[in-house]
Amino acid sequence: MKETLNSGEMKEDEFWFVALEFAEVVVERARGMFKTKETCDDYIIEYCIVEIMRFFFGLSLILFYAFLRDHGELRYILKLKGA
């Protein structure tokens, strides 16, 4: 997988493998880092998750949520309350 990423040539199924793995890491890290803070609400955590994933996919906010509607597995991994 590392060679595929470095070459810049990736099939769609390989891309989705990377994207979903990245999403799992983002959610785990964001929830782990911010849940330790007493003043951090879930909406702040979800904002960070959405912004990181939006940047990853290169989408505007409205397009990201439209994209998320069509991708159940990604939506399930992100566990966003507002999506």
- Give tens-digit pLDDT for 13-64: 888 898 999 999 999 998 888 766 666 677 888 899 999 999 999 999 999 9
Total structural domains within the chain: 1
Cα torsion 15, 12, 6, 49 to 10°: value is -20
Number of Cβ within 10 Å of residue 56's Cβ equals: 14
Domain contains 47: yes
**Residue 83 domain flag:** no
Evaluate whether residue 20 is within a structural domain.
yes
Residue 30 forms part of a structural domain: yes
- Given a cut of 80, whether residue 1 has pLDDT beyond it is no
Residue type, 59: L
Q: pLDDT band for position 10 (50/70/90)?
A: confident
Give the range of the structural domain holding residue 68, as residue numbers without chain letter: 2-78
